[in-house]
A and B are shown apart, each in its own frame.
Chain A
């Protein structure tokens, strides 16, 4: 006989797994930094798990989860009103709405990222992945690479812009096809 707890876990994981990327991107769009988005995502998951027993399976899981995620993001922003990097609520909510509307677009871009990363020279690919690795300090990475932090930031910006142009081009090509 299947363990009911295991089934409950599995059901939650299935639903969350399906929408995890959309939730993370939503939070990143609303919050000023990756760290803030990760923190909010973790808090969101805890709430989703705690409330999953009350979740009505006839409802749309994504809408429910995104509602909880938005509230978490807004709460985090309220706590940090004095931070000069915080956008106002009007813009944050508009960014949230438009992110959700762009889910398919963003999925296609994420799918294209592997191929776009492969188009980078190996050294640039390694650098950008190193820069995004949790715990990496840019000043230490710059020292390891024999660069100043400013030149490293500028290189990272150029690589990100190139990657974005690449994934956007892929999206445009798919839309034309």
Chain B
């Protein structure tokens, strides 16, 4: 390939070609398939570099969120940013570690803080409440593929709840398996410094078929924390999150049906206090069966998938 074409394409991208040069490029592109491929590769690179630059402006040291391979994009939810002329936009995409924003016309900018489909990343820890950001930890859980008649809600993997206790702590009376994740929201202080932002946590849950005399439900809880509880073992104590958080919100219990083909969605929101520095997310699967005879601390086939945490500004409801 004549390197002059690289130079000419670059100058065309820069908008500095003369009318004659543009015509020459046009006529060459019409007849030369390889040149067209080169030109289109440069255009693709142009778009990708623009996206990288915008993401680099937005990206902050925080959670790693891993993008899937293209073959799973058809199953992938909520990953790419969206622009809307009506509301003004921020892009952020293509990177492996990125918080990205999109715009929903009725909401304005929405920033995705976490998108988890369990396709990759380290296995959840089973050591109780995490004290550091970036990894799931809690009761005994594991990441699994399709099993017990349940297919992942997206991709090839999902989280399975196993037990209601964790390594080093046996709790026979437990009837809830919980997993936690700590998220650093300090980079987004500007968004909620005036109390004007809401975070929304959502996930889907499912179970293998279970007897009619048993009942299960799922909940999501959000705790707004300042930095004093992060890296501090005291957070592992019972009720500390509730009593020491700046604010918290638990979703209503969503009953799990007996159809392994259907996933139930749970959502929860929390308006962030201005001093929030971290969020602790909790996903819980609870055995609500009213039976004194049955043990309720282990789970035969209960799953979670498609966890998403977003933040957006939302005004409070005006009152007279």
A interface residues, Cβ below 8 angstroms from B: 2, 5, 9-10, 13-14, 16-18, 20-21, 24-25, 28-29, 32-34, 37-38, 41-43, 45-46, 49, 84-85, 87-88, 90-91, 94-95, 98-99, 102, 104-107, 109-111, 113-114, 117, 128-134, 153, 156-157, 160-161, 163-164, 167-168
Do B45 and A163 touch across chains, with their CB atoms under 8 A apart?
Answer: yes
Beyond A84-B19, A109-B45, A117-B52, 13 extra complex contacts between A and B, CB < 8 Å: A20-B81, A24-B47, A25-B44, A28-B44, A45-B84, A46-B85, A104-B70, A110-B94, A131-B53, A133-B53, A157-B6, A160-B10, A163-B49
**Complex-state Cα separation, A110 to B41, whole angstroms:** 10
Selected from A34, A45, A130, A161, the residue in CB contact (under 8 A) with B50 is A34
Do B78 and A102 touch across chains, with their CB atoms under 8 A apart?
Answer: no
Selected from B16, B36, B46, the residue in CB contact (under 8 A) with A98 is B36
8 Å CB contacts to A: which residues of B73-87? 73-74, 76-86
Smallest Cβ-Cβ distance to A101: which chain B residue: B40
What's the nearest-Cβ distance from chain B to residue A63, in Å? Answer: 14
Residues of B contacting A104 in the complex (Cβ-Cβ under 8 angstroms): 70
List the 6 shortest-distance A-B pairs measured between CB atoms, nearest first.
A17-B80, A132-B53, A42-B85, A84-B19, A157-B10, A106-B44
Most A CB atoms within 10 A — which of B47, B78, B102? Answer: B47
**Complex-state Cα separation, A105 to B48, whole angstroms:** 13
Residues of B contacting A24 in the complex (Cβ-Cβ under 8 angstroms): 47, 51
**Complex-state Cα separation, A20 to B100, whole angstroms:** 14
Tell me if B7 is interfacial: C-beta within 8 Å of chain A.
yes
Give chain B's interface residue range (CB within 8 Å of chain A). Answer: 35 or more
Do B77 and A14 touch across chains, with their CB atoms under 8 A apart?
Answer: yes
Given A18-B76, A84-B18, A42 contacting B83 (CB threshold 8 A): yes
**Complex-state Cα separation, A114 to B56, whole angstroms:** 12
What's the nearest-Cβ distance from chain B to residue A22, in Å? Answer: 10
Smallest Cβ-Cβ distance to A109: which chain B residue: B44
Do A13 and B104 touch across chains, with their CB atoms under 8 A apart?
Answer: yes
**Complex-state Cα separation, A97 to B14, whole angstroms:** 24
Do A132 and B50 touch across chains, with their CB atoms under 8 A apart?
Answer: yes
Tell me if B123 is interfacial: C-beta within 8 Å of chain A.
no
What's the nearest-Cβ distance from chain B to residue A98, in Å? Answer: 6
Could you pull out 5 A-B pairs where Cβ atoms are within 8 angstroms? Answer: A90-B30, A94-B30, A110-B44, A113-B94, A160-B42
**Complex-state Cα separation, A98 to B44, whole angstroms:** 12
Tell me if B89 is interfacial: C-beta within 8 Å of chain A.
yes
Smallest Cβ-Cβ distance to A102: which chain B residue: B40
What's the nearest-Cβ distance from chain B to residue A25, in Å? Answer: 5
